[in-house]
Amino acid sequence: MSESIRTSEQTTCATRQRLLEAAGEVFAEQGFRAATIRDICRQAGANIAAVNYHFGDKMKMYAEVLKYAYEKARAKYPSELGPQATPEQRLQAFVQALVYRILDETRLAWHGKLMFREMMEPTEALQTLVEEAIRPEFERLRTVVAELLGPGADIESVLQSVWSVTGQCLFYYHARHIIAVLRPKGAYSQQDMQRIADHVVKFSLSAIRCIEKPKAS
Amino acid sequence: MSESIRTSEQTTCATRQRLLEAAGEVFAEQGFRAATIRDICRQAGANIAAVNYHFGDKMKMYAEVLKYAYEKARAKYPSELGPQATPEQRLQAFVQALVYRILDETRLAWHGKLMFREMMEPTEALQTLVEEAIRPEFERLRTVVAELLGPGADIESVLQSVWSVTGQCLFYYHARHIIAVLRPKGAYSQQDMQRIADHVVKFSLSAIRCIEKPKAS
Amino acid sequence: MSESIRTSEQTTCATRQRLLEAAGEVFAEQGFRAATIRDICRQAGANIAAVNYHFGDKMKMYAEVLKYAYEKARAKYPSELGPQATPEQRLQAFVQALVYRILDETRLAWHGKLMFREMMEPTEALQTLVEEAIRPEFERLRTVVAELLGPGADIESVLQSVWSVTGQCLFYYHARHIIAVLRPKGAYSQQDMQRIADHVVKFSLSAIRCIEKPKAS
Amino acid sequence: MSESIRTSEQTTCATRQRLLEAAGEVFAEQGFRAATIRDICRQAGANIAAVNYHFGDKMKMYAEVLKYAYEKARAKYPSELGPQATPEQRLQAFVQALVYRILDETRLAWHGKLMFREMMEPTEALQTLVEEAIRPEFERLRTVVAELLGPGADIESVLQSVWSVTGQCLFYYHARHIIAVLRPKGAYSQQDMQRIADHVVKFSLSAIRCIEKPKAS
DNA sequence: AATGAATGAGCCTTCATTCAT
DNA sequence: GATGAATGAAGGCTCATTCAT
C-alpha cells in the first residue's frame, strides 16, 4: 500500500513527465536496446503499461525522450549569442556549451549523453534528431567558421575545420574511459571544463588564423 | 564432468577458430549485448552449444575474442617512423595512419571496430587493452607534441593538444552516422582520406605553432 | 539460413509430436487466436520455448498442425476408391468419409474440426491448406458428380451440385449447436453417422438423377 | 459507487446507441474475443471507459448487442407466403429468402453475420436466439417438407431433408472463403443469386420427389 | 453522463544456458 | 570433440478493467 504513486494533487500528467526523465537516464546509461521498459517504469514509479499508454511503444517513447533531451540540453547550456557578437565570441559560446553538455556528470544531465549515444548507435530516430536538433547547430558553427576563415575559403575547407572543432569536443566524451585509464583523475570540476573549452577555442582559433593567413596573403 | 573448456593457450581447433572469427565480426558489428550466440554460431557453422563447450559462456568468449583481436591488431600497423625523423614528419605519419585505419572501411577489419566499441562501452578487459595497445601509441604522440610545443609547455598543455589531435581523427569514426546524414556522400576515396589527414596535420601544426609562440615570447 | 527448425519430413521427436497433438486439440477447440501457447505446452508437458525451438513461432506451428491434421484425417477416414468403382460407390465413399470426419467426437478426432475452423475463420495458412488438401478432394468429387450428371451437364451445373453435396455434409458441423437446441440428443453414435451419410447420398443421387433425366430426354 | 449501469429497457442515450451499433459491426466482423473495446469505442467516437459505464463489461455489452441484433433482424425479412400457396412455392420462397440474405453482402448487415457467428461459437445467449428467432423458421420449413414428402414420411426423414435444404443454403456462407480460393470470382450478382436459389430448389425438390416415390409405392 | 489516467494480468517471443548422448 | 533437445528467465506489447474527477 505504500506503493501509492500519486499522493499529492498534480494537475499536469506527472507520470508522463517522470517517465520521460527516468527513460532519459536509463537510455543514456544503457542505450535503447539494453534499457528495459520495466526498469524505466520502476524508476519512474509507474506501471509497465504506462509506456504504452503515454507513448505507444518503446521506440516512440525513445523518440520523445530524444526530443525532450534536446530541448532540455539547449535550455541548460545555451550556445547561441546575438548576431552582433564577434565570430570569436560565438565560437567560444558554441564550444563551451558543447563541452559543458558533454562533461556535466550531474545525475540530472543525461541529455547530452543520450544524444551522443544516438550518434554512435543510431536508431530510426536519428534522422529526426539530426534535422531538428543537430543541423541547426551545425549550420551555426559552419557560419562562424566561414566568417573566421574569410571569404577565400572553399566549402570543403570550412567543413573540415568544423569537424576539427567538433571532434576536439566530442573526444572528451567518446574517449572518456580511455582517458580515465591513461590519466586517472576524479570527475570533471567546473574549472576543468572551463579549461578544456578554453583550450579547444584557443587551439582552433590559432589553427584557423594560421590557415587563413597564407590564403589571404 | 568439470573441466574441458579451452583457454587461449591451447591447441587451435577448427571450430574454435571459426567461432573466434565469427564472434569477432558479430561483436564488432552489433556489440556484446545485441550480438546473439545463435547468430555467431550460424555464421561459424557451429552448433549453438559450441560456445559453451569451447568458452564456457558468452562473456568468456567475448574476453577471448578481445584478446585475439588485440594480438591480431598488434601484428598489423607498425607505422612508426625512426627517431631521426622530424616531429612534423612523425605527426604526419601518426595522423595519417590513424585516419587511414579509421576511414578505410575495407581495411578497418573487425579488430578495429571491436576495439573502438570496447572504448565506448568498456568491460573489464579495457584496462589491459589500454595498457598494452593504446598507451604506447599515446606516449609516442605525446612525445611528438611535446617536441613541437617546445620545452616551455607544461604537461597539461601537451596533453590537451594530444587530445585535440586524436579527437580530430576519431571524430570521423564516431560521428560517421551524423556526417552521413549531414553531408551524404559515398565511401571515402583514397584522395578523401589523404585530404582529411593533411587537413588534420595542417590544422594541428598551425595551432601548436601559434600556441607555442606566445609562450616562447 | 541453417534453421534448426524441423520440417514435416524430419525424424519424429517425442516432444514435437506431443506438441503437434496438443496444439491440434487446442486449436480445434479455441481457434488460432484464442489458443495460447502456454496452454498447448502445458497440455503437451513441454516448456514454453519448445514451440519456438520446434516450429519457430505460433503461426508456423499452426501451419504444421494443419498439415498434420490433413494427413491424419485422410489416413483415419480414407475417402478414395479405386477407379473401377462406380460413381455411386465413389460418392458414397466420399460422403461417408466427410460425415465421419466431421461428426466423430472422439477426443482424438480434432483433425476434421480444425480444418473446418480454418475454413470459417481463415488465417494465412488457408491458401496452402486449400491447394494441398482441399482442392484434390474437391476435384475428385467434381469428377464423380460430372460422371453422374452425364456429358450434357455444363460446368456451372456440376459445380452447384458439388456444393449441394458438400453443404449437406458440412451443415451437421456448422449448425451443430443449433441442432443441439432444436433437437436435443446425445453424441452421434456410429449408427447415427451412417444414417446421415446414407441420407445425404440418397438425397443427392435422387436429385442428380432427376435433374439429369429432363436434360437427357 | 454501485448501480448506474444501464439496461436495455432504459432511455436511449446517444453514446450508448452508437456503441451498440459499432459493437455490432465489430463483433460481427471479428468475433467476441478478437474484437477489442478500444476499437469499438474508437468507431463509436466514445471514450474507452464508456463500455464499462454503459454495460458493465465486454461480455455484458455483447449480450446486449445480440439482443439488439435479434430485435432488429426480427423486424426485417418477413418473407412468409400465405397458407394457400403450394408447398413448392413456399419452399421456393424460403430458399430464395435465405440465399439472398446470405449472399447479398450489402444486405447482410452485421445482424446476420453476428447471428451466424453466435451459431458457430455460442455463448449463453444462443438458447434464446434459437427459440425466438430460428425455431419458427425451422418449423415452417419442416411443415413444407413434410407436405412434400407426403404422410408416409417419418419424423426423422423429414428432419434429414430439412437439414439437407438448409445445409445447401448455408454452405455458401460458411464455405465462402474456400469457394473464393477454389473458384475465384467477384461478388455475387443478382443473377448468380437467383441461379443458386433455383438450383437449390430444383435439387431439393427432385430429391424429395424421388425419395418419396419408392415410399409411396 | 462521461472521461483521461492508470493498472495488472497475460500473451508471444527471444535468448543464454544446460543436459544427455 | 560435438550436437540436438530442452529449459527458464526476461522482454515488449496488448487488453479489459478501474479509479478519480
Interface test with B, best of A137, A171, A183, A205 (most B CBs within 10 A): A171
pLDDT digits (tens, 9 = 90+) for B150-200: 998 999 999 999 999 999 999 999 999 999 999 998 888 889 999 999 999
As a rounded value in angstroms, the CA-to-C1' distance for A47 and F21 is 21
- Whether A16 and A97 map to the same domain: the answer is no
Question: How far apart, in whole angstroms, are the C-alpha atoms of residue A40 and residue A45?
Answer: 8
User: Which domain covers residue C38, as residue numbers?
Assistant: 3-56
pLDDT of residue A76: 81
**Interval B11-34: pLDDT, tens:** 568 889 999 999 999 999 999 999
pLDDT in tens, C128-139: 999 988 999 999
Residue A62 included in any domain: no
pLDDT grade for A82, boundaries at 50, 70 and 90:
confident
D106, D35: one domain: no
The answer to whether D115 and D69 have CB atoms below 8 angstroms apart is yes
The answer to whether strand F lies under 7 Å from the CB of residue A43 is no
Q: What is the pLDDT of residues B90-110, one digit of tens each?
A: 999 999 999 988 887 766 678
Decide if D171 contacts C172 (C-beta within 8 A). Answer: no
**pLDDT tens column, D120-177:** 888 777 888 888 888 988 999 999 999 999 998 999 999 999 999 999 999 999 999 9
Establish whether the CB of B5 is closer than 7 Å to any nucleic acid atom in strand E. no
Q: Is residue A158 domain-shared with residue A204, that is, in the same domain?
A: yes
- Number of Cβ atoms within 10 Å of the Cβ of C126: 18
Q: Backbone dihedral region of A3: left (phi > 0), alpha (psi from -120 to 50 degrees) or beta?
A: alpha
At residue A65, the pLDDT reads 95
B76 and B52, same structural domain? no
Same-domain check for residues C104 and C200: yes
Question: Quick one: B152 and B202 in the same domain?
Answer: yes
Residues C52 and C23 in one domain: yes
Kindly state the average pLDDT of the residues D90-96: 94
CATH of the domain at A170: 1.10.357.10
Nearest CA-CA distance, residue C60 and chain B, Å: 20
Helices within chain B (DSSP H only):
14-30, 37-44, 49-55, 58-75, 87-103, 110-120, 126-129, 135-149, 155-174, 176-182, 190-216
Residue B54, CB, less than 7 Å from strand E? no
Assigned domain for C167 exists: yes
More confident residue, D75 or C155: C155
Q: Is residue B61 part of a domain?
A: no
Same domain assignment for residues A26 and A127? no
Residues of C (102-131) placing their beta carbon closer than 7 angstroms to any atom of strand F are: none
Domain CATH code at residue C47:
1.10.10.60
Cβ–Cβ gap B163/A168 under 8 Å: yes
| Residue B217 included in any domain | no
Could you give the number of structural domains in chain A? 2
Mean pLDDT of C23-35: 94
Does residue C75 sit in the same domain as residue C161? Answer: yes
- Residue B45's contacts (CB-CB under 8 Å, 6 or more residues apart) are B18, C2
Predicted model pTM? 0.85
Judge whether A59 and A105 are in contact, CB under 8 Å.
no
pLDDT reading at D8 higher than 60: no
Q: Is A205's pLDDT higher than 90?
A: yes
pLDDT beyond 90 at A206: yes
- Mean pLDDT across the stretch D113-118? 86
Nucleotide nearest to C52 (CA to C1'): E13
Query: Are residues C86 and C179 both part of a single domain?
Result: yes
For testing the chain C interface, which of B18, B42, B43 should be mutated: the one with the most C CBs within 10 Å? B42
Place of cell 455458401: D172
In a domain, A22, yes or no: yes
Number of Cβ within a 10 Å radius of residue D138: 18
List CB contacts (< 8 A) between C171 and chain D: 163-164, 166-167, 170-171
Instruction: Tell me which of C26 and B187 has the higher pLDDT.
Output: C26
pLDDT computed for residue A72 by the predictor? 86
The x, y and z cell numbers of residue A185, run together, are 583523475
Residue D79 covered by a domain? yes
**Measured between CB atoms, which of A119, A172, A178 is closest to B177?**
A119
Domain-ending residue, one of D15, D30, D56? D56
Share of chain D above pLDDT 90, in %: 56
In this predicted structure, the answer to whether residue A112 has a pLDDT above a threshold of 50 is: yes
User: Is D79 found in the same domain as D21?
Assistant: no
Which cell numbers hold the place of D49?
Answer: 471507459
Domain edge (last residue) among D16, D31, D56: D56
Residue C216 lies in a domain: no
Chains touching C, CB cut-off 8 Å, 3+ pairs: B, D
C174 burial level (CB within 10 Å; 0-12, 13-18, 19+): buried
Assigned domain for A83 exists: yes
Same domain, A48 and A75: no
pLDDT, one tens digit per residue, over C77-134 is 877 787 789 999 999 999 999 999 888 877 778 998 898 889 888 999 999 999 988 9
Residue B2 has pLDDT above 50, yes or no: no
